[in-house]
Structure 1
Amino acid sequence: MKKLLIVIVCLIQISAMSQQPIASNSIYVCPPCDNSCDDLKYKKSGKCHICNMELITKGELRNYQKPKEMTIAFYLQEGVEILDFAGPLEVFTVSGFKVFIVSKTTDPIVSQGVLKVIPDYSILNAPKADILAFFGGNGQVAAQDRSIINWIKKQEKSVDYLFSVCTGAFFLGQAGVLDNQTVTTFHMSIESLKQSFPKAKVLSNVRFVDNGKIITTAGISAGIDGALHLVEKIYGKERAKLTSIYMEYDKWVPGEGLILSKN
């Protein structure tokens, strides 16, 4: 009888313990990333098996703040090269950036004579962005428009980064932001960039150049490399790696470009 009572008491204690909530610091969760893994719970630390983010305790979740959503204004001109902007567009949207399209007006523009793009804003009503991006394809000609250059000059002091692909660098050059900077562009436009902006140090045979605030890249696929580098710079290597995996872009090699500043 005594043994039976002991067993009963033990069962009651075990039952009571099972009813008690588990300490929040012993439950691990994925930081909110707007994926299905937001609702998963783990028993130990590590990385989320879905998004690969570092797990945090449920207690830490209360004070967790999601990283700021970065906004990027893609300036597109008539004749812009499709892959110059489409590659980085994929990188930034997959990585969680908010991208909007700006042009001189909101009239449709035609890329390479086949693709019509309707801008979200003109240079007269475009909202502020954290990053301005410029692309090749008629870039040298479009960059001669003083109204566009004046718009860039008004924006450049307030943005976090300036980004160019291919001859998009000519927009930045005309705005004066390439002076005393090390830069690059499309391999067939290296000499032209040197002649147009003698105060800039123009390099060939480099995928991208990071001066800190200003990131210039060579043509087409190099724009994807530069965009992934900027994702890594802002949000970390893990997010950039996940983006490249999602895109099945196995060309990306972190740090392959010329990085003059990590700021």
Structure 2
Amino acid sequence: MKQLLVLIFFIPCFAFTRVYATTSICPPCSHPYDTITYQQPGVCAHCGMTLIGKNQRISKDQKITVCFYLYDGVEVLDFAGPMEVFSYAGFKIITVAKTKAPLLSQGILKIIPDYSIKDAPQTDIFAVFGGSDEVATDDPEVISWIKSRDSATKSYFSVCTGAFILGKAGLLDQLTVTTFHKSITNLQKAVPKAKVLQNVRYVDNGRVITTAGISAGIDGALHLVSKLRGKEVAEAIAKQMEYDKYGPEQGMDLSHQVLPKTQTFNNQP
């Protein structure tokens, strides 16, 4: 009888341990130890990121692709912040400009685009950023190219005055949006059919996410990761980046679903 009781107690515990051992895993950070599983929650022994449930992470084979459209005079942190967030989330990022000629960001950083608008592949997410945004908004060829990708683009993401580029392409009409705090009035004039808010880090309309200026792009990017990868992943990335400012309550989520039914990610959890 005693042996039977021990067996009855041991089997459930063993089963629980086996299941539990496969539920804790490091968020994707593009290192070989992404696949290591742990028997209890905590932090990754290799990179220090907080562990998450294995079922909360999309397979690394199922990449979400993002196009970063860049131009001469683009603000460094506008795109560098979200790039850091998306790369930790395992998204595949490509950089695109009108041509493949080197760009200069803020007169400091030289950028060599991966593609031009002539050969850029389609991506799930299209992202634009602030700075000398008139370089893009005043270029009919660029705006026409953005419009031509709309039917296959699942989500739009803008940081700072990058919202003017989406607005010029007609993508902000009838939406509630935001931008750099000194450009609120100008964006409202440029896109009269939109409602432009101030004092908010980001606004999510479902398919279109716009953020306030510069560092707010990190908040918007973390929000998008939270939608597509899970809240725990976004929080782990914020912790890894030591971005203490992140607070979902500082943004405005107006979407009732991740994306419209006609624009869904096949690899969404």
TM-score bin (small chain): 0.7 to 0.9
C-alpha deviation, 1:40, in angstroms: 4.2
Superposed CA RMSD in Å reads 2.3
Which contiguous aligned blocks of 4+ residues in structure 1 show a shift greater than 4 angstroms? 22-25, 30-35
Change in Cα spacing, 1:48 to 1:107, as seen in structure 2 (3 Å) is same
Question: TM-score normalised to the size of structure 2?
Answer: 0.80
Distance 1:39 1:201, change over 3 A: closer
**Secondary structure at 1:100's aligned position in 2?**
strand
- The one of 195, 201, 208 equivalent to 1:207 is 201
Asked whether the 8 Å contact 1:140–1:167 carries over to 2, the reply is: no
Secondary structure of the corresponding residue to residue 157 of structure 1: helix
- Correspondence list, 1:164-243, <5 A: 164-243=158-237
1:96-115 pair list within 5 angstroms? 96-115=90-109
Partners of 1:47 and 1:55 within 8 A in 2: no
State the SS of the aligned residue for 1:162. strand
Q: 1:247-262 counterparts in 2 under 5 A?
A: 247-261=241-255, 262=257
3-state SS, counterpart of residue 126 of structure 2: strand
Distance 1:31 1:246, change over 3 A: closer
Determine whether 1:85 maps to 2:72. Answer: no
- What SS is found at the alignment partner of 1:101? strand
User: Structure 1's 65 and 119: CA in aligned 2 closer, same or farther, altered over 3 A?
Assistant: closer
Structure-1 residue corresponding to 2:18: 26
Aligned partners of 1:169 and 1:216 also within 8 Å? yes
2:35 aligns with one of 12, 35, 38: 38
Give the paired residue count: 233
Q: What CA distance in whole angstroms lies between the structure 2 residues aligned with 1:246 and 1:225?
A: 14
Structure 1 unmatched ranges of 5 or more? 1-21, 57-63
Equivalent pair of 1:48/1:54 in contact (CA under 8 Å): no
- Please tell me whether the aligned partners of residues 156 and 162 of structure 1 are also in contact (alpha carbons under 8 angstroms): no
User: 1:141, CA displacement in angstroms?
Assistant: 4.0
SS at match of 2:141: helix
Counterpart of 1:131, as a letter, is I
Retained in 1: the 8 A contact 2:58–2:229? no
Task: Report deviation, 1:31.
Answer: 5.5
Shift of 1:102: 0.3
TM-score by length of 1: 0.82
**1:37-91 deviation line (CA, Å, top 9, x unaligned):** 634453xxx53642512257xxxxxxx9726311110000110011111111111
Given that residues 78 and 160 in structure 2 are in contact (C-alpha distance below 8 angstroms), is that contact kept between their aligned partners in structure 1? yes
**Unaligned 5+ residue runs, structure 2?**
1-13, 45-49, 259-269
Identity %: 50
Q: Which moved more, 1:218-227 or 1:66-75?
A: 66-75
Distance in 2, Cα, partners of 1:254 & 1:65: 22
1:12 matched residue in structure 2: none
Question: Residue 151 of structure 1 aligns to a residue in which SS?
Answer: helix
* Inter-partner Cα distance in structure 2 for 1:176 and 1:26: 53
SS in 2 for 1:219: coil
Give SS of 1:142's match: helix
C-alpha displacement of 1:25: 8.2
